Amino acid sequence: MGSFATAAALAAILAAVLGADPRARLEALRARSAAEEAAARTLREREGSLLGTLEGAEKALRDAEAVGREAEETRTAAERLLVSARAEEAAAQSRLTALEAELSPRLRARARAGALSELWLLASSASLGEMTKNRHLWGRIAAHDLALLREASEARGAREHARVARAGEAERIGALAREASARRDAAAASRESRRNMLAAVRNARELHERAAVEAAGQSAKLAEFLAALPPPSARGFRHSGFALLHGLLPYPAAGPIEVGFGRVVDPRFNTVTVQKGLDIRAPPGAEVRAVAPGRVVHAGWFRGYGNLVIVDHGDGYHTLVAHLASMSTAIGEEVPGGSLLGTVGDTGSLKGPYLYFELREKGRPVDPRAWLRP
């Protein structure tokens, strides 16, 4: 842990821990232990790619969050089914209650009259015609009562079916809620692991320098990727007039320029890196828009840049927006100026959420600030 805290800082932590109550001391020691383990894991991975490790952590986080959203959506759908099942059960119970109320008086009357009630009715008839009529009416009453009994039996069955369905949905919702909670916990653990790794990169000079070297290597690969794209004439942008927009381009996202183009000196480690674009400190989720008309030639993941969208504006000009949280376009899509490309995020970022913006002329990075509106 010596690479991550000075002796004074450790002394301050120890003093704070010893001065707290036992429960607070335990929590502080656990937090410190977790931080030390995370730092040790990161240091053990020095032989591998830091950007690759970051990419793996981000993928785990995205997967956990996606599965968590799916579990939450399934649980919400199950809750809607539970509401429907409860309504069906209530309707079946209401119908059964009504049928029982209609049947009960007649069934009690027939029970009091006994098995000879029909013979008594026929015997009390004044004539043969009245006897025939009474027998016909008796048959209709009996048939009606039998139909009501069958309907009551069906209503009772429907109520039981609805009750079983309701109980099943309630049990499924409980399981889905537990799964969604577990997925949220997994996403939170993945997010914490990523934070710890980023903290180690920021605090350890060796890791910081290695990350800068890897980032420079990825920048070279990005230049190779752009150079391999078909020439502008093959994509219908022979004369786009983009050069006339010098000093007139809108910002791709609202926010101040935090790091400019060119040589950048890290104030903490006094290391020098070459910045080929601008860091715009825009809030997470802010809209990112095309600065001019063009065609999307890349919309996807690029190591070191996270979610990256590249727009070909013709005449050999490309703009790049990186570290997007989401992308709202696809390769080959024609985009007018001002159209939505995605939202600000921190994918592939070692600096937290911000927008990285590049402008390239015939593959060569140029200072975008000179092209943007004052």
Q: Are residues 267 and 139 in the same domain?
A: no
Q: Are residues 262 and 359 in the same domain?
A: yes
Q: Are residues 236 and 175 in the same domain?
A: no
Number of domains in the chain: 2
User: Does a structural domain hold residue 314?
Assistant: yes
CATH number for 288 = 2.70.70.10
Q: Are residues 235 and 179 in the same domain?
A: no
* Residue predicted with more confidence, 348 or 151: 348
SS3 label, residue 180: helix
- pLDDT tens-digit profile of 240-272? 789 999 999 999 999 999 999 988 887 776 778
User: Does a structural domain hold residue 358?
Assistant: yes
User: Does a structural domain hold residue 119?
Assistant: yes
- pLDDT tens-digit profile of 314-338? 989 999 999 999 999 999 999 999 9
Q: Are residues 253 and 365 in the same domain?
A: yes
Beta bridge partners of 357: 278, 321
- The span from the CA of 374 to the CA of 248, in Å, is 8
**Quick one: tokens of 214?**
């890897």
Give the pLDDT of residue 218.
81
> Which of 183, 216, 239 is at the close of a domain?
183
Give the pLDDT of residue 126.
59
Q: Are residues 236 and 313 in the same domain?
A: yes
| Helix or strand run (H / E) with residue 23 | helix 22-44
- pLDDT tens-digit profile of 22-61? 555 566 556 555 554 554 455 455 445 666 666 776 777 7
Q: Are residues 175 and 105 in the same domain?
A: yes
> Which of 183, 217, 251 is at the close of a domain?
183
Query: Which of these ranges, 7-16, 95-104, 234-243, 340-349, has the smallest mean pLDDT?
Result: 7-16
End-to-end CA distance of the chain: 46
- The span from the CA of 157 to the CA of 170, in Å, is 20
Which domain does 112 fall in, by range? 69-183
